[in-house]
Structure 1
């Protein structure tokens, strides 16, 4: 039976302006230029104000939290508009006390060395060989099937099928494997291996075979690789009939090898660079916070679009096409104004959030000592700046701050509290620092197990469970005691 009912619901709905601000807030400084360029290309009513003189005073914008519910302005198109709303020849440099613009290098592109990629280097080596057309196509297919680490993960039968379907080349496993052996002689050594064992053996066999240490290293990789990985050195000593000193030389020979021969070439062309969003300077014990100048772009509404809108407003609007033209221009002007508002609001939210973090962790930013970090969660900062937790999270998860002792992700300053035996609450970062020091100073021949690390922490007044110690150790990418063992 069908039935109609009326129901009232209270829902939180974000306006287009709020959604735009949320997306901009998540964008790091390194990507902001690209996002602004996209907007400039899409909206002709938005202009880069740095191309013109802008000396009018800056309009003040109150801090807004995108997660606070306020009435949507979707119906605003039906209202009367004044051209003056869109005239914003703001001088964003009036924010100079908060933005770091003195370093013009921030605005320069970071040069990347132009060099052949990993695959291009292999292709160049293949081109130098005297091969038949079929052999060349097979070799080319093998190179194209390597992953970024330099391994051939694709099975030989699948390569044969690929050649048949894509190149119309009919071959067999023997021919493919013969070509693979040729490619495995290419540089870097170890390329074209199908697993770690084969990769290490290819590299060892290129060394001086008359060297006894190299011969023993080949033996270890061929027959005792699992024991080597698990660091069961006593078993290897017994099987090879060598003493600890000889085994140390053998292990060092294996450790010199590259388990990912393609890795260096694959990463060579990538730009690994972090652009800090904030700078904190220590001026005789007083911290000074600045926002990277890239976060304060000089944007304005297009004067030509303002004039166009003013012209349309004065003309007769009875014509349908004229109404559509007015609506289009007005929409572009609105979009430009909203984007400028969102950029300004982004700047203020970033500064407000980072300033609260700096004040909360003042002692840490003065010294750079992890032990000075206070327990701090997202709610602490959200309450301090009177914004939603999700807003703080968006800032903390994607922004970096440069200090006198390094550049850090804001998220790294947040930590849970641990209570000591004296009742004092300290950050778990302090416990991690102690764990790191204990492991760094341990006897590598007898590394400290998690149980022993737990006892050491208890002696220092930190009563935590062994599984918590294991969790902290794993978070710091430190392996278990057995894998830290050295001869």
Structure 2
């Protein structure tokens, strides 16, 4: 049985403008510039650069002509042409701020031209005598080499791809034969299928001496024991002294585990970090500036404003003119909203970073990570009276240029713990101390996690062994056995 009834409820929905603002806030500088470029391409009513004096004079003229009209012309129910001719909001269109230097105006990113890594390898194939099929296979193998210099795919997959994409029917044995040719290309080690093969290729191409011969034996026959640093087992297996093993390991350590990275002429895309903020120390005080790229000069198009003025002055208004004004209104509204969103973005970024800077003032004045205070997103959100999600959007994607290097803002946030004196300290402080202790340890007898926990306890930080292990992994530091050196 069908029934009808009324139900009242309250709900919160984000407006399109709020969604647009949140998306703009989380964009880093370079992505923001791309978004700005896209908006200007899509909306002809939005223009960049300073407005000319002629434009300002015309706006004054618009104000004077408005006095001649006692009634506002309406299109439909919502459009008031005078609202788009008023000069009251003109200052709001300009979003330039004066806290950046002229150096920030250099916005062009230079790109280097050259031969790609794969093309460099392909050119070397011309020095070998190969049949047509072998050349096709060799070029396919070279095309499968990644930026590190490895071929990560199995020979079976390569065999299938050659048949389906190149119409070359062969077998794994023939491919392996051609692969040995690829292994002769420069840089040494290129085309290897794993680290063991890469190191072995490089060692076999070195001038032979006792140390190199021993290194080849270790890599080819005892690679697993070598990677796990079972040095005593290696000494017993090859019946050698500790000094001989040390010399062989030094030969291995000179090798390049990523031969592709040694090619300086490759065209891999390099990610450039453009800091969104800069912090300087001036007369013992911190000074924060917002990157000028985040503060473009924008204004509403003069041509579109003239169109609105022309419509207002027209005595007879056709349907096509009304449709045109509807379109112009839409574009002008979008331009105003976008300009306002950029202004709010600038203000949000500056206020958030300013709060973080003052919260971590001791760190920014000294650069000592041990002086970082425990700080979570909620601390900053409460101070600037904004939502935690807004602070998160700023912290996760923005960088700040400090006297101690360019830092991701997220790095300044950390949990707290209580030391033996009952004081709250940052986990970043503990990690820094842990890192220093490991750097100063005897590498012949590295400290275990239990010993590290005991040392931290002596320094006043009661931390469990599993917590030490977690911090060590976050610092990308290996376990004690893998840190061992002869």
TM over 0.5, yes or no? yes
CA distance in 2, matches of 1:94, 1:412: 29
* Residue aligned with 1:234, SS: helix
CA contact (8 A) 2:349 2:394 kept: yes
The question of whether the paired residues in 1 share the 8 Å contact of 2:134 and 2:178 is answered with yes
- Partner residue in 1 for 2:97: 95
C-alpha separation in 1, matches of 2:154 and 2:316 = 70
1:470 aligns with 2:472: no
Aligned position for 1:63: none
The runs of at least 4 aligned residues of structure 1 exceeding 6 Å deviation read: 53-56
**What residue number does 1:383 align with?**
382
CA distance in 2, matches of 1:307, 1:423: 69
3-state SS in 2 of match to 1:288: strand
The separation in 2 between residues aligned to 1:380 and 1:416, in whole angstroms, is 11
Q: Distance in 2 between matches of 1:474 and 1:439?
A: 13
How far off is 1:129 after superposition? 3.3
Question: CA 1:254/1:80 → structure 2, altered by over 3 Å: closer, same or farther?
Answer: same
SS in structure 2 of the partner of residue 418 of structure 1: strand
Distance 1:34 1:373 in 2: 34
Alpha-carbon distance in 2 for matches of 1:363, 1:18: 35
RMSD of equivalent CA atoms: 2.4
- Paired with 1:50 and 1:482, the residues of 2 have a C-alpha distance of 63
Does 1:256 pair with 2:254? Answer: yes
Cα 1:317–1:399 shift into 2, 3 Å: farther
Kindly indicate whether residue 222 of structure 2 is the aligned counterpart of residue 224 of structure 1: yes
Alignment of structure 1 residues 453-464 onto 2, 5 Å: 453-464=452-463
Q: Report how many aligned residue pairs link the two structures.
A: 464
Hey, what does 2:213 align to over in structure 1? 215
Cα separation, 2, equivalents of 1:85 and 1:125: 69
Q: Tell which deviates more after alignment, 131-140 or 2-11.
A: 2-11
Distance in 2 between residues matched to 1:137 and 1:342, nearest whole Å: 55
Tell me the TM-score normalized by structure 2: 0.90
Asked if the contact 2:187–2:263 (Cα under 8 Å) also holds between the matched residues in 1, the reply is no
Normalization by structure 1: what TM-score? 0.89
Instruction: Tell me which residue corresponds to 1:21.
Output: 21
Q: What are the within-5 Å matches in structure 2 for residues 310-325 of structure 1? A: 310-315=309-314, 319-325=318-324
1:103 is paired with a residue whose SS is helix
1:57-456 aligned at under 5 Å gives the runs 78-81=78-81, 82-84=83-85, 88=90, 92=94, 95-96=97-98, 99-104=99-104, 107-209=106-208, 211-265=209-263, 269-315=268-314, 319-456=318-455
Whole-Å separation in 2 of the counterparts to 1:327 and 1:115: 51
Higher deviation after alignment, 161-170 or 283-292: 161-170
Give the distance between the partners of 1:484 and 1:396, measured in 2 at CA: 34
Distance in 2 (alpha carbons) for counterparts of 1:401 and 1:157? 48
Q: Does 1:37 align with 2:29?
A: no
Distance (Å, rounded) in 2 between the aligned partners of 1:325 and 1:201: 73
Structure 1 residues 53 and 422: alpha-carbon distance in aligned structure 2, compared to 1, 3 A threshold: farther
2:245 is paired with a residue whose SS is helix
Please say if residues 150 and 193 of structure 1, whose CA atoms lie closer than 8 Å, have aligned partners that are also in contact: yes
User: Cα distance, 1:317 vs. partner?
Assistant: 8.5
SS of 1:115's equivalent? coil
* CA distances 1:175-225 after superposition (whole Å, capped 9, x unpaired): 22221111110011111112221111111110113x111111111111111
Aligned-partner SS, 1:262: helix
Give 1:257 shift: 1.5
Partner Cα distance (1:21, 1:353) in 2: 15
Q: Judge conservation of contact 2:96–2:296 (CA < 8 Å) in 1.
A: no
CA contact (8 A) 1:450 1:470 kept: yes
SS in 2 for 1:290: strand
Q: Is the 8 A contact 2:187 2:262 kept in 1?
A: no
User: Higher mean Cα deviation, 25-34 or 232-241?
Assistant: 25-34
SS at match of 1:100: coil
SS of match in other structure, 2:349: helix
| Contact preservation (8 Å) 2:149, 2:190 | yes
Asked if the contact 1:117–1:265 (Cα under 8 Å) also holds between the matched residues in 2, the reply is no
CA distance in 1, matches of 2:251, 2:55: 67
Partners in 1 of 2:439 and 2:190 — Cα distance? 34
User: Partner residue of 1:59?
Assistant: none
**1:68 aligned residue:** none
Stretch of structure 1 that moved more, 420-429 or 159-168: 159-168
The 3 A distance-change label for structure 1 pair 235 and 329 is same
Larger Rg: 2
Greater shift, 311-320 or 471-480, is seen at 311-320
Alpha-carbon spacing, 1:327–1:221, altered in 2? closer, same or farther (3 Å):
same
Output the CA distance in 1 between the equivalents of 2:267 and 2:421: 52
**Any idea what the Cα deviations from partners look like across 1:6-41, whole Å, max 9, x if unmatched?**
433332211111111111111111222222111111
Structure 1 residue 260: Cα displacement: 2.0
* 1:409-463 deviation digits (Å, cap 9, x = unpaired): 1111111111111111111111111101100100001111111111111111111
- Which blocks of at least 5 consecutive residues in structure 1 are unaligned? 57-75
**1:477 Cα deviation (Å)?**
0.7
Whole-Å separation in 2 of the counterparts to 1:385 and 1:411? 17
